[in-house]
Amino acid sequence: MINCWELDSKASLVVEEIPYVRSVAIGVYIKVGSRHEDLSMSGASHFIEHMLFKGTNRRSAREIAESFEGIGGQLNAFTAKEHTCVYARTLDEHLDTAMDIIFDMLFNSSFAPKDFETEKGVIVEEINMYEDTPDDLVHDVFSQQLWQGHSMGRPILGTVDSVQSFKREEIFDFYRRAYVPANMIIAIAGNVDALRVKEKVESYLHPDMPDSASFINIEIPDYVPFIKTVAKDTEQVQICLGLPGISYRDKRRYTQNIMNSILGGGISSRLFQTIREELGLAYSVYSFPSNYSDTGSYVIHIGTGPGKVAQFFEVFHAEIDKFRQQGVIPGEVERTRQLIKSSMLMGMESVMNRMNRLGKSILMYGQVIPVDEVLEQIYAVTPEKVNHFANEVLDLPRFSLSTVGNAEVLAMVENEYKKWWK
């Protein structure tokens, strides 16, 4: 049974009672991410996520860690472009303890000056580690160029320069404005009593807490196809080919998911079977959509050797053209429906997945969309709808390129790209 409330504190609470399990998952979604930062504060949301674990007025960082491990629980967090999430899983008998720790972290983090400076060093190393991973870096390069000059394009981690320039007072002020109940969605799934959980949550969220503050949210820039290369000493060259996508509010998202699965979203997909299995051009090749509140992207990624680049572009261009011209066949759509259905229903066996689904559903759509309704929408997708969407989105002249690799290889990649996209 699923219960939803808007609390007096203006926070949203959604609770799913699952009486046949022994565990509970809790997630607090805060509606702030890298999108809501100006240039000087790039990486602030992610920095705050780190600082939540560094201690509160009641608990040190060690005590937070030891308290959670002492109940056999798991505690973690992540930052995205449009939200931050702190989440945990524990036995049902320890939910009260878990909630006390989490809400203490959310509202009472101390941001001690010494910890603040130490964490700068930690995050700088995290940025360096990320930039040393070319198959991750190439995606950030693509995003930066796709949304050039917009906060959506900036790295979630920030940059070395922005992080090192952070001042405690500015970050703490950002935290105090963002981490308020009116900006939060609390999602809980597991062996719980919903009304008791509601009472407990309300004891932490007072109606007199500050209202949600406004953050920057400027209009998405117009798309202009681009080529962006980054020189890095690597064995392979990492390539992203992509273009703008749709928002998660777009009703065509179900059609998009089926199209993606058929094109490059799994091991049975056309790109995987052709590029890897038949031709051996790559170990890693996949496509994926990214959907946000008012924008999105659709990207195909490949990591391959320099000697295989020319053949890859030829094959890729032919596969996209074939996909648009000939379309999908009913069997592909039916197989994909079954794949999505199985993945969704098997995922429902995890309390963490169920909690995450609840929180994101409220975050994105303001309501919990029943599983049956989602499946109904999936099964309403026809081959004709997929073909129409593919022709609209996979417009070959509009594909952009980002690539990371050795300097001498990059020129060759760019030239091969231009043979097909003039």
Would residue 221 count as lying in a domain?
no
Identify the pLDDT of residue 217.
Answer: 73
> What value does the mean pLDDT take over residues 49-65?
96
In this structure, what are the phi and psi dihedrals at residue 303, rounded to the nearest 5 degrees?
-115, 120
| pTM, rounded to two decimals | 0.95
Question: CA dist 67 to 51, 71, 352, 364, 397, Å?
Answer: 17, 7, 20, 32, 56
Bridging pattern class, strands 74-79 and 2-6:
unpaired
Could you read off the pLDDT of 33-50 as tens digits, one per residue?
Answer: 999 999 999 999 999 999
Would residue 90 count as lying in a domain?
yes
Domain co-membership, 17 together with 165: yes
Cα of first residue to Cα of last residue in the chain, in angstroms, is 56
CA angle 382, 353, 195 (to 5 degrees): 115
Would residue 213 count as lying in a domain?
no
Whole-angstrom distance, CA of residue 42 vs CA of residue 23: 37
Would residue 111 count as lying in a domain?
yes
Domain co-membership, 105 together with 42: yes
Domain co-membership, 182 together with 98: yes
Among 189, 204, 219, give the residue marking a domain's end: 204
Identify the pLDDT of residue 422.
Answer: 59
The single-letter DSSP state of residue 71 is T
Domain co-membership, 56 together with 177: yes
Which candidate, 238, 214, 192, places its Cα nearest to that of 351?
A: 192
Which string of DSSP letters, residue by residue, matches 190-249?
ES--HHHHHHHHHHHS-TTSPPPPP---PPPPPP---EEEEE---SSEEEEEEEE---TT
Whole-angstrom distance, CA of residue 236 vs CA of residue 232: 10
Domain co-membership, 255 together with 192: no
Q: What is the CATH number of the domain that holds 402?
A: 3.30.830.10
Domain co-membership, 173 together with 287: no
Report CA Rg, the chain. 23
Domains held by the chain: number? 2
Among 165, 189, 204, give the residue marking a domain's end: 204
Domain co-membership, 49 together with 198: yes
Would residue 211 count as lying in a domain?
no
Identify the pLDDT of residue 208.
Answer: 77
Only one residue has tokens 């231009």, namely 418
pLDDT over 80 (residue 295) = yes
Confidence band, pLDDT 50/70/90 cuts, at residue 212: confident
Would residue 174 count as lying in a domain?
yes
Of 6, 17, 37, 49, catalytic: 49
CA angle 382, 386, 388 (to 5 degrees): 115
Would residue 212 count as lying in a domain?
no
Could you read off the pLDDT of 139-165 as tens digits, one per residue?
Answer: 999 999 999 999 999 999 999 999 999
Domain co-membership, 179 together with 320: no
Domain co-membership, 14 together with 89: yes
> What value does the mean pLDDT take over residues 59-72?
95
Q: Is 416 a catalytic residue?
A: no
> What value does the mean pLDDT take over residues 108-136?
95
Whole-angstrom distance, CA of residue 160 vs CA of residue 164: 6
Enclosing domain of residue 199: 2-204
pLDDT over 90 (residue 70) = yes
Would residue 218 count as lying in a domain?
no
Domain co-membership, 135 together with 194: yes
